[in-house]
Copies of this chain bind each other. A is one copy, B any other.
Amino acid sequence: MDIRKFVLTTVLSVHIVMRSEERYLKDYDASRFASPIVTVDNVLFSLDNNELSVLLVKRANHPYQGAWGLPGGFIDMTLDESTRDTALRKLVEKTGVIPPWLEQLETFSGKYRDPRGWSLTTAWFALIARTDCQPHIESVSDAKWLPTHQLTQQTLAFDHGEIITHALNRLRQKTRYSLLPVYCLAEEFTLTQLQEATEIILGQAIQRKSLIRRFEASGMFEDTGKSKATGARKARLYRRKEGVDIHLFSRNLLNDTAG
């Protein structure tokens, strides 16, 4: 083959490919294709009064107007760079603060989960200390904390009950191989508070000694030097170390129970 002809052909075809992709993108109209209703929802957990609760909001609009559901909504394509941003935006809207733990839970989709039609929601799972957002929640009437053991009595919008169940399973599983419950505590906390948080989430007592061993091994915390009077011996106050990732243990707590 003539090398000049080969080069010419190559240059031309590259040019054609680029022109054609350019034109394609310029002419692309996202609204041409039927697409599902896309939303983002948050399952925000918090602890108070020896109970694990989930944040619900009263729906202002159809469908399920007036019903309680998860705080969430549509993606704002100008504001949000990803669904994480959408989740955060909605959480800040409702609680006034950024939760210290936020991870993607799962995406729920289907033809029938929304009466308006085929829909998809990316659910996020978040934890916060109750004290950090209580003033904000108390100031509105469209948001409330539902204790998770009352979930069966409360009818929720869409499949939000099912989504909360998934989030609860995730929280319980992760609590067995990490110290995730610290994200439900105030910035400074005692070991007893961490133990109580863990026990409320797991629904059963754990060995304090096991918790302390993990606490030390995790490398996630530092002593504040302060301590807190609880009526008897003062308890040391700890805080999370800056910029340290969550530690995952290689074994689960409570090996006996379930799988």
Q: Does A247 make an interface contact (CB < 8 A)? A: yes
A24-B63, A62-B20, A120-B38 given; A250·B251 CB < 8 A? yes
Interface size, A (range): 35 or more
A16-39 CB mask vs B (1 if < 8 Å, else 0) is 010011001100101101111110
B28 touches A77 (CB 8 A): no
Other-chain contact of A25, B63, B110, B120, B255 (Cβ < 8 Å): B63
- Please give, as numbers and ranges, the residues of chain B lying within 8 Å of A116 by CB-CB distance: 25, 28, 30
Q: Does A170 make an interface contact (CB < 8 A)? A: no
- Please give, as numbers and ranges, the residues of chain B lying within 8 Å of A120 by CB-CB distance: 38, 75, 83, 122
A82-B110, A109-B122 given; A115·B37 CB < 8 A? no
B63 touches A81 (CB 8 A): no
A86-127 CB mask vs B (1 if < 8 Å, else 0) is 000000000000000000101101111001111010100000
Q: Is the interface of A mostly helix, strand, loop or mixed?
A: loop
Interface hits, A238-252 → B, CB 8 Å: 247-248, 250-252
Other-chain contact of A21, B37, B65, B106 (Cβ < 8 Å): B65
Other-chain contact of A82, B17, B74, B109 (Cβ < 8 Å): B109
- The smallest beta-carbon distance between A45 and chain B, in angstroms, is 20
Report copies per complex: 2
Q: A38-B120, A107-B122 are known contacts; what are 18 more A-B pairs with Cβ within 8 Å?
A: A21-B63, A25-B62, A25-B63, A25-B115, A30-B117, A34-B77, A35-B38, A36-B75, A75-B118, A77-B111, A80-B111, A82-B109, A82-B111, A83-B120, A104-B106, A109-B122, A248-B259, A251-B252
- Please give, as numbers and ranges, the residues of chain B lying within 8 Å of A83 by CB-CB distance: 107, 109, 120
A107 touches B110 (CB 8 A): no
Question: What's the Cα separation between A136 and B170 when bound, in Å?
Answer: 38
Question: What's the Cα separation between A112 and B111 when bound, in Å?
Answer: 28
24 contacts between A and B (CB under 8 A): A17-B66, A21-B62, A24-B62, A25-B62, A30-B35, A30-B117, A34-B77, A35-B36, A35-B37, A35-B38, A36-B38, A75-B109, A77-B111, A77-B117, A77-B118, A81-B111, A82-B109, A83-B107, A83-B120, A84-B109, A104-B107, A109-B122, A247-B259, A250-B251
